[in-house]
Amino acid sequence: MVGYGTGGQHFHAPFIDAAGGCSLAGIVARAPATIAKARADWPGIPVFPSLTAMITSGACDAVTITTPPHTRKGLVLEAIAARLHVIADKPFAPDCDAAMQLDAAAKAAGVVLGVYQNRRFDADLQTLRKVISDGRVGKVWRIHSRMDQDSPQTLEAGPGGGLLRDLGSHVVDQMIFLLGPVVAVTATMDMVDLPEGPTDACFTLMLKHENGAHSHLSASKLNHVDMRELRVYGDRGSYFSRATDIQAQDIFAGKRPADDPAGWGYEPELNWGRLYTSAGPEIVPSEQGRYHDYYEAFARAVHDGTAPPVTAEVGAETLAVLDAARQSAANGRTVLVRAA
């Protein structure tokens, strides 16, 4: 694992540890405090000063790149050149064109390249996916997704950062996962002036999907509210849920999925969603959220030659939507999404 900041510490290492077919073989960290933290959290796991040093050691056959976004492309290319399989955290490239370059490099080298879109494995999204796949709301007309976080300290500042590339990567990928490819985007972004430059701190997106459905997405980090909400409307009914992001809460509380595999990742009963149909309202129990399912599926892709859970091509689709959203917000018009 390359990087041991919040992402590496909380959203990668514990789930690598819990995933069948994977083991944590090394951590790349440079700051003394980060090195100390990694060694304290994972005693016995070697810590390397650079990806180059870890490659030279021969410690691993796959790497996760979870360093700051502007560093990822170069590190992904270095790992590919070393014939290592790669998981790149989101956003895994600056834009769609760069994403396709990384995809081409991985294919030329014969290695697996996947994008870490772990929020496909959120409990609330897995529950919604089952509601849809079971036909309980019928043909889906639209989905509303809200992901507000009270975490201003995690907003990456400057024109190269912003919330659209951060939480936008998650909510767009979730809709591609549920509804398929996006053909057009209408977007607005709320900007703040920071010392590093203008930064998008909130956004709203309306996505038109190839299948005729549309999704309405919003997120913020500076408005002092934590709220995760999903609303779905179909020709047979509707479904509503408000979740607590249970896996993140438990990780930040010091719990690890490997300690309780059977009980991990379920939303508490108080937060179970509600289905509304002609039969009346019905409470829908939570499906299990398991970010380590991503790693288990990636391990199978490496061993069996199957596709990883989120391919680079699908990651490029998400970036194409984000690229179009920026154009839409800047120009005040709907923008067609080009094929990745």
Residue 218: its pLDDT value, please? 98
Find the CATH number of the domain harbouring 96: 3.40.50.720
Q: Is residue 1 part of a domain?
A: no
Residue 338: its pLDDT value, please? 77
Residue 340: its pLDDT value, please? 61
Same domain membership, residue 188 and residue 150:
yes
Q: Average pLDDT for residues 258-280, to the nearest whole number?
A: 96
CB neighbour burial string for 73-98, b if at least 16 within 10 angstroms, e if fewer: bebbbbbbebebbbbbbbbbbbebeb
Q: Is residue 313 part of a domain?
A: no
Q: Is residue 260 part of a domain?
A: yes
Select the more confidently predicted residue: 339 or 312: 312
Residue 101: its pLDDT value, please? 95
Same domain membership, residue 157 and residue 109:
no
Q: Is residue 271 part of a domain?
A: yes
Same domain membership, residue 282 and residue 138:
yes
Same domain membership, residue 29 and residue 95:
yes
Same domain membership, residue 194 and residue 128:
yes
Instruction: Kindly tell me if the per-residue pLDDT of 88 is higher than 90.
Output: yes
Q: Average pLDDT for residues 271-287, to the nearest whole number?
A: 97
CB neighbour burial string for 141-172, b if at least 16 within 10 angstroms, e if fewer: ebbebbbbbeeeeebbeeeebbbbbbbbbbbb
Same domain membership, residue 222 and residue 127:
yes
Q: Is residue 273 part of a domain?
A: yes
| Residue 149 to residues 8, 85, 154, Cα–Cα distance (Å) | 19, 32, 10
State which residues form the domain around 154. 120-289+319-336
Residue 322: its pLDDT value, please? 96
Q: Is residue 327 part of a domain?
A: yes
State the Cα–Cα distance between residues 151 and 8, nearest whole angstrom: 18
Residue 262: its pLDDT value, please? 93
State the Cα–Cα distance between residues 4 and 55, nearest whole angstrom: 17
Same domain membership, residue 261 and residue 195:
yes
* pLDDT tens-place string over residues 57-83: 999 999 999 998 888 999 999 999 999
Find the CATH number of the domain harbouring 257: 3.30.360.10
* pLDDT tens-place string over residues 121-174: 999 999 999 999 999 999 999 999 999 999 999 898 988 889 999 999 999 999
Instruction: Kindly tell me if the per-residue pLDDT of 93 is higher than 80.
Output: yes
**End-to-end CA, the chain:** 28
Same domain membership, residue 202 and residue 104:
no
Residue 68: its pLDDT value, please? 87
Same domain membership, residue 260 and residue 171:
yes
Q: 115, 315 in Cβ contact below 8 A?
A: yes
Instruction: Kindly tell me if the per-residue pLDDT of 46 is higher than 80.
Output: yes
Phi, psi of 230 (to 5 degrees): -125, 135
Neighbours of 316 (CB within 10 A): 25
Same domain membership, residue 327 and residue 219:
yes
β-pair partners for 5: none
Q: Is residue 59 part of a domain?
A: yes
Average pLDDT over the chain, rounded to an integer: 95
Instruction: Kindly tell me if the per-residue pLDDT of 339 is higher than 90.
Output: no
Residue 244: its pLDDT value, please? 86
Q: Is the pTM of this model over 0.75?
A: yes
Burial class (CB in 10 A: 0-12, 13-18, 19+), 190: middle
Same domain membership, residue 31 and residue 102:
yes
Q: Tokens 């998981």 map to which residue?
A: 87
Q: How far is CA 128 from the centre of its chain?
A: 17
Confidence grade of residue 300 (pLDDT, cut at 50, 70, 90): very high
Same domain membership, residue 151 and residue 125:
yes
Strands of the 273-277 sheet, one edge to the other:
280-284, 273-277, 237-243, 227-234, 140-148, 214-220, 197-209, 182-194, 335-336
Instruction: Kindly tell me if the per-residue pLDDT of 296 is higher than 90.
Output: yes
Residue 69: its pLDDT value, please? 82
Residue 17: its pLDDT value, please? 96
* pLDDT tens-place string over residues 223-266: 999 999 999 999 999 999 999 889 999 999 999 999 999 999 99
Q: Is residue 314 part of a domain?
A: no
Q: Count of domains in the chain?
A: 2
